[in-house]
Chains A and B, each alone.
Chain A
Amino acid sequence: MLTNSNVAFRRLFHSSVRLSCEGKKNKEVKPPEEAGWAFNHVEKKMGMYKPKHTITEQLAYMKSKAYDDAYKGLPIYRWVNRSYSRRHDFFCIDKHGRFNLNHACPVCRDEYLFFDYRNPALIEQFLADGTDQPIDILKSGLCREQYAQLKAQLLRAKEHGTIPFAVDFRNFDYRQWYKQWTDEPGKPVERAGVRLQDIHPDPLVSFPTFKNDKGNDWDEWWLRHDKFARKAK
């Protein structure tokens, strides 16, 4: 049925073009797909489909002027408003591969973009500053599917070395590895474990640290509570 209507529509379109062209002579107007206009080739045209592209095309696109013009060098989620599409049962792209939402997520809406470990630049946009952890899903504006993809491809990128990270520092005890070694190992160190106060203790100023309720005497509080509560009664 759909196909028939489609064909009929095209026939009508062609005839109208021909009619309109009769006035201006020697000017052939091409059908839309030949002229390069946006046209849906897919038979079932209930929704639009996201084209499939390879990773090499994606890499070229990320370097192209079109990408730069679209995103102005900002992270791709920067100006995406997803407040309309926050339901957990809303999918950017449904199970048939058609666009489902008017406000698709920043990755789904761009036809060239998908997460892949060979393109670390895209993954890095979604990492918190200076860490190897992805930012919150609400901040990123991604749909659940893409967020899961992000986490998976991030792990893959780390395993393939495209996104380097701080590996924990391994403290070796030489006595364990060499029988003849007798020296004590130094204090174990850890990456990002060097604190300014340890390096440069300042005796002039004392910095009161936040004291949480650990190791304090809670009995005291309850004793007093009993006392006053009873008094109040």
Chain B
Amino acid sequence: MRKLVIPKYFGRPSIGLALFGCTNRPFYHICVFPDRALGRRYESNILEQVGTFDPLPNSKNEKLVSLNFGRLKYWLGERNAHVSVPVLELLGLSGLFPIHPKTFVRARDNREVLKAKEAAAIEAASKKEDEEVAPEEQQSVAAKV
């Protein structure tokens, strides 16, 4: 049964991230996997590597992505490959695709978190000021007495 199809030419391949790092060091290859219908058993038969993604920012605060656009176009255009969401996000950021909605959602969430943090910081600062002011007042009251 397994021999009946060649994974490379069968069905609809899918493009996704394959974890190639080691402990505490994530590193992804952007790979083309065989048809999902073949099951998870065939996920290890990577058809082609079309890029890399390094999620740890380097010393210049950059996340490096390399993409083989020529081959990517082949897999997308000729073979109608299915693309996983993380790769879609990367392709959207690179300008090849329109930006994925998830990126917008994440951006909004991050902004909200930042806003909340700022508000908390301002509150904390004002509280501190109040506390600093309060003992002074007490002291002045004590002096008056």
Is there direct touching of A and B in the complex, by C-beta distance under 8 Å? no
Report which B residues bind A (CB closer than 8 A).
Answer: none
